[in-house]
């Protein structure tokens, strides 16, 4: 992969979006809002907030996206899953988010109840999959809808053909963007996009980029979701378990290298899984030549309280 930074021309056409998750404590909430404030000046296309399995984080997700919509100039998107819920319940949640000003959903089936290895069983009165969820959301309003895509196919899909057929059903039902599961080999992404285009799917397939804050955790997560971790990454992080500063430098360099290689392949839109930490994503965006609004114009003025000026 190339280690060169993006050219000024490339930087001008690059779009980014950021994913966050709802905080579980006061300290985590402070970290989240510091991260949002830090990354806001890059003018992301949107920022998304995840939604726990079975609606377990409905209120924290709603609180977070509502605050983003109210206190910042950022476009907020809410993740929404359908696992373990009736259609009526899911639709009610969607309308609650809509009332808070949310017009963009990341529609996902959700992980099977019962944990790793459990078989997914749709609720008898629920949406059976993400394609049905997309159709249900579109029946409520003409929302912008993003969906998931899997460069190494979904772990439950027997083959790429069925996996891409599910993506096509999502698009046919109204999805306008797909965000990929994270990956570390750009060839996987490129081959996947080729398969998708041959299947007659032409919506943006936005690569999901995961900076490696903790190699062990990422490796375990990757094994659960069917993403491969090349040996060269393990070698790069070897011996850095107790050296967070060097680990962060290596992670930044690797992610910037991956993104630059994708830019050279013609990609100009990237979705970053931030893990609610701004440092690595900020550094990567800076390396790419993105500068944003240093005067903090991504921040709305408020009468009281709020995030403070964007960094």
What three-state secondary structure class fits 238? Answer: coil
Number of alpha helices (DSSP H) and beta strands (DSSP E) in the chain = 11, 9
Judge whether 132 counts as a catalytic residue. no
Q: What is the secondary structure of 178-233 as a DSSP string?
A: EEEPP-S-HHHHHHHHHHHHHTT--S-EEPEE---S-HHHHHHHHHHHT----HHH
Distance (Å, whole) CA 287 – CA 150: 27
CA dist 190 → 27, 147, 157, 230 (Å): 39, 18, 19, 16
* All residues at 6 or more sequence positions from 246 whose CB lies less than 8 Å from its CB, including other chains: 240
What residues contact 186, with CB distance under 8 A and at least 6 apart? 1, 258, 261, 262, 265
d(CA 105, CA 17): 14
Q: Kind and range of the H or E element at 67?
A: helix 58-71
Alpha carbons 75 and 57: distance in angstroms, whole number: 20
Among 19, 71, 132, 185, the one annotated catalytic: 19
Bridge partners for 16 per DSSP: 270
State the greatest distance between any 2 C-alpha atoms of the chain, in Å, as a whole number.
54
Q: Quote the radius of gyration of the chain (alpha carbons, Å).
A: 19
Active site (catalytic) residues: 19
């Amino acid at each position: 992969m190339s280690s060169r930074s993006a050219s000024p021309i490339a930087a001008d056409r690059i779009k980014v979006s950021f994913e966050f998750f709802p905080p579980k404590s006061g300290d985590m909430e402070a970290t989240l809002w510091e991260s949002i404030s830090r990354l806001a000046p890059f003018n992301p296309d949107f920022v998304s907030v995840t939604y726990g399995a079975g609606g377990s984080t409905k209120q924290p997700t709603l609180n977070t996206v509502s605050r983003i919509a109210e206190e910042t100039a950022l476009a907020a998107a809410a993740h929404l899953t359908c696992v373990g819920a009736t259609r009526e319940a899911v639709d009610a949640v969607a309308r609650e988010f809509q009332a808070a000003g949310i017009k963009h959903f990341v529609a996902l089936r959700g992980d099977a109840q019962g944990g790793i290895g459990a078989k997914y069983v749709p609720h008898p009165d629920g949406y059976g999959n993400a394609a049905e969820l997309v159709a249900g959301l579109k029946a409520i309003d003409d929302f912008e809808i993003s969906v998931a895509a899997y460069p190494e196919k979904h772990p439950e899909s027997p083959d790429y053909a069925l996996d891409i057929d599910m993506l096509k059903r999502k698009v046919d039902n109204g999805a306008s963007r797909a965000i990929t599961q994270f990956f570390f080999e750009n060839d996987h992404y490129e081959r996947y996009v080729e398969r998708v285009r041959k299947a007659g799917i032409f919506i943006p397939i936005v690569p999901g980029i995961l900076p490696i804050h903790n190699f062990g955790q990422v490796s375990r997560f990757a094994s659960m979701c069917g993403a491969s971790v090349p040996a060269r990454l393990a070698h790069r992080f070897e011996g850095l378990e107790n050296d967070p500063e060097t680990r962060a430098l290596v992670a930044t360099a690797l992610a910037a290298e991956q993104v630059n290689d994708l830019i050279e392949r013609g990609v100009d839109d990237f979705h970053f899984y931030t893990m609610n930490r701004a440092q690595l994503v900020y550094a990567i965006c800076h390396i790419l030549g993105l500068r944003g609004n240093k005067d903090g114009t991504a921040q709305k003025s408020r009468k009281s309280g709020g995030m403070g000026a964007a960094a």
